[in-house]
Amino acid sequence: MTASSTPTPASSGWPAEPWTCRPARSFCGEAGDAAPPSVCAAFPCSLVWGTREIGLAEGENLIGRAEDCAVRIDSGRVSRHHARIVVTGGAASIEDLGSKNGTLLGGRRVEEPTLLADGDAVGVGTALLFFRKGYGPGSTQTG
């Protein structure tokens, strides 16, 4: 495959990743130990959006434009409260909350609460999110 025939995220219709502006910082000194595993245990699941991983807590996690959403997507194609993911005992399900543009799971519109599996692709507005069981570095297994 040549470089010119390689598909790009833009050609797929999905944004490559969310935009985040951060100031550059330099650090010097000793690197500390990693956070204890209990920090990541608060998030049994996550959503990957571009290069960001967003932890999903046990219970209800709202997705939408509103300030109270666990996963905020600032897009005109996303409702204030677009969808919710409910995490219970290591399992998670997604439900559309009557959004105008719908929620997609693997390319199909979510019509009722549906169980999520590791690696599932979730479409919300123009954002493509990937569901992961576990949170943090090493939480995703590749085959």
User: How far is Cα 135 from Cα 47, in angstroms, rounded to an integer?
Assistant: 9
pLDDT(29) > 90: no
Query: For residue 20, what pLDDT is reported?
Result: 45
Distance between CA atoms of residues 47 and 120, nearest Å: 10
Residue 40 phi, psi (nearest 5): -75, -20
Domain residue spans in the chain? 40-133
Q: How confident is the model at residue 32 (pLDDT cuts 50, 70, 90)?
A: low
* Lowest mean pLDDT, pick from 5-9, 52-56, 72-76: 5-9
- State the chain's mean pLDDT as an integer: 79
Distances (CA, A) of 121 to 3, 24, 118: 26, 32, 9
Q: What is the DSSP string of 4-15?
A: GGS--GGGGTS-
The alpha carbons of the chain give a radius of gyration, in whole angstroms, of 17
pTM of the model: 0.68
pLDDT of res. 18: 57
CATH class, 40-133 region:
mainly beta
pLDDT, tens digit, 9 for 90 and up, residues 74-116: 999 999 999 999 999 889 999 999 999 999 999 999 999 999 9
Amino acid identity of 125?
G
The residue to which tokens 């992961």 are assigned? 132
* DSSP-derived secondary structure letter, 34: P
pLDDT category at 39 given cuts 50, 70, 90 is very low
